[in-house]
């Protein structure tokens, strides 16, 4: 992963942030991301993100759970071990409702959380670059990606004019790496010159 240059602006209120996002996008800059201390509703749409499909995944996991429970129990009780319990039918569907329901919920919940962690690259010892230490406290941090054509000074001034309280330039990796938050390691793979 290569290093990139970002112009970072910190906003103190979502009411200022929203028009700023609009202005920055209209001006043609590419917003890498906005980091907020809490979910700001509508910000995803303002940034032009599409809806997440996580709930669809959850539905599929749920159906998987239902099928697993029903097929497994019916196989066990009609094929593998058809035991006569008090003369009750082997295929006792009503009695299987509770376990089927529980497995549906279990599969859906576990599957969704794992998918969520996978999509967001969340796991213990995952470390990412933080543009601002107060992004999880009280500031709304907008990171704008710079290309070789971007006039960094101009962009900084522009961001300031939209209401950003602090503006700075950071060179960072935008991905994630394995690391610890008590150590300042960053596994940037600098391209080493190879002798041709």
Partner 1 sequence: MHLKYESQLREPLVTGNKDYHQVTEDICRPIEAKPTKLWYVGFFIAVCLLMFGVYSVYREVTYGIGQWNLNKTVGWGWDITNFVWWVGIGHAGTLISAILLLFRQGWRTGVNRAAEAMTIFAVMCAGQFPIFHMGRVWMAFFVLPYPNTRGPLWTNFNSPLLWDVFAISTYFTVSLLFWYSGLIPDFATVRDRAKTKLRKLLYGVASFGWTGSTKHWQRHESLSLVLAGLSTPLVLSVHTIVSFDFATSVIPGWHTTIFPPYFVAGAVFSGFAMVQTLMLMLRKIFVLEDYITLGHIEAMNKVIVLTGSIVGCAYLTELFMGWYSQNKYEGYTFWYSRANLFSPYGWSYWGMMACNVISPQIFWSKKMRRNLFVTFFMSIIVNIGMWFERFVIIVTSLYRDYLPSSWSVYYSPSTWEMGFYAGTFGLFFTCFFLFAKYFPVIAIAEIKYVLKTTGDNYKAEVTKEETMEVDEFVHEYAH
Minimal distance in Å, beta carbon 3 to partner 1? 17
Q: How far is the CB of 166 from partner 1 (least distance, A)?
A: 15
Comparing CB distances to partner 1, the nearer of 76 and 152 is: 76
For the CB of residue 121, give the shortest distance to partner 1 in the complex, in Å.
7
Smallest separation, CB 64 to partner 1 (Å): 14
Between residues 3 and 106, which has the closer beta carbon with respect to partner 1?
106
Of 54 and 145, nearer to partner 1 (C-beta) is: 54
DSSP for the chain? --EEEEEEEEES-HHHHHHHHHHHHHTT-EEEEEE-SS--TTHHHHTTPPPP-HHHHHHHHHHHHHHHHHHHHHIIIIII----STT--SS-HHHHHHHHHHHHHHHHHHHHHHHHHHHTT--TTEEE--S-GGGGTT-EEEEEE--TT--HHHHHHHHHHTT-SEEEEEEEESSEEE--TTS------PPPP---
| Complex with partner 1: residue 27 or 99, whichever CB lies closer | 99
């Amino acid at each position: 992963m290569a290093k990139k240059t970002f112009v970072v602006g910190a906003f103190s209120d979502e009411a200022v942030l929203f028009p700023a996002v609009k202005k920055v996008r209209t001006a043609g800059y590419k917003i890498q991301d906005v980091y907020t201390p809490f979910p700001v509703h509508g910000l995803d749409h303002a940034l032009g993100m599409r809806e997440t499909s996580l709930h669809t995944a959850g539905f599929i996991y749920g159906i998987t759970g239902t099928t697993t429970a029903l097929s497994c129990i019916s196989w066990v009780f009609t094929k593998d071990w058809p035991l006569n319990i008090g003369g009750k039918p082997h295929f006792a569907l009503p009695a299987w409702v509770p376990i089927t329901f529980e497995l549906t919920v279990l599969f859906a919940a576990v599957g969704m959380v794992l998918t969520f962690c996978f999509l967001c690259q969340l796991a213990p010892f995952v470390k990412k670059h933080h543009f601002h230490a107060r992004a999880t406290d009280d500031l709304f941090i907008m990171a704008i990606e710079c290309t070789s054509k971007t006039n960094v000074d101009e962009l900084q001034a522009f961001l300031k004019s939209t209401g950003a309280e602090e503006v700075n330039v950071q060179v960072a990796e935008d991905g994630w790496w394995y690391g610890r938050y008590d150590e300042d390691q960053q596994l940037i793979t600098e391209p080493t010159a190879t002798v041709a």
